[in-house]
A and B are shown apart, each in its own frame.
Chain A
Amino acid sequence: DAGITQSPRYKITETGRQVTLMCHQTWSHSYMFWYRQDLGHGLRLIYYSAAADITDKGEVPDGYVVSRSKTENFPLTLESATRSQTSVYFCASSEFGSDYSPLHFGNGTRLTVT
């Protein structure tokens, strides 16, 4: 089925561990995004990518690493997880860029850092 899928759906990890959240889209959209959603902060952009091998920082990039070797995949890595990174993470894709075309969101990964 066409769409955007995130995995895992839920993840519990310990402080200091590295964890990678996966995102895969089947539309061949150029743009992909990672947001985190927290009570009191709404959605905040972590990183985005305009095309394969092109990434840029969003509002809250510290502690995160992204890569985009293939158009359809945009993994997000927490290099050394901290409790403040406990959140719900959403991946999204867009055909022409987020200001000009709709974002299509995955159903999120709920990450708990203990």
Chain B
Amino acid sequence: SQQGEEDPQALSIQEGENATMNCSYKTSINNLQWYRQNSGRGLVHLILIRSNEREKHSGRLRVTLDTSKKSSSLLITASRAADTASYFCATADEQGAQKLVFGQGTRLTINP
């Protein structure tokens, strides 16, 4: 089944720096989504980018999508301690739009 894979698996930066996480997937997609998960909590939706979009912004978040390379990136600018979390990309399985498949996630730690 299709699966997004995030890179790096873990990232540790200083507060105020920018954080970039990457996601690769295997087959054609309609949309790609990014989610955040704080420790012990459920996932929270951040952004949905459609296959015909190349870039999307939401506050301090910037997502890019390159369908030719089957990859996406999530940039968090001016990071804060509260951004410490795991970040996941998700795409639908080609066999079914309801079978959203998540990557393993990037564990982001923001150091004060």
Contact = CB atoms under 8 A, between A and B. Distances in A.
A102 B42 contact: no
A98 B48 contact: no
B98 A90 contact: no
20 contacts: A31-B98, A33-B100, A35-B102, A43-B88, A45-B100, A45-B101, A48-B98, A58-B99, A59-B99, A90-B42, A92-B42, A98-B92, A100-B31, A102-B45, A103-B33, A103-B35, A105-B43, A106-B42, A107-B42, A108-B42
A29 to B, nearest CB: 13
A50 interface: yes
Interface in A6-46: 31, 33, 35, 40, 42-43, 45
B78 interface: no
A56 interface: yes
Given A104-B45, A105-B43, A98 B100 contact: yes
B5 to A, nearest CB: 9
Contacts, number: 67
B69 interface: no
Contacts of B90: 98
A99 B43 contact: no
Given A33-B98, A59-B101, A107-B41, 12 more contacts: A40-B104, A42-B88, A42-B103, A42-B105, A43-B88, A48-B98, A48-B99, A59-B99, A98-B97, A99-B92, A103-B100, A105-B42
Contacts of A102: 33, 45, 48
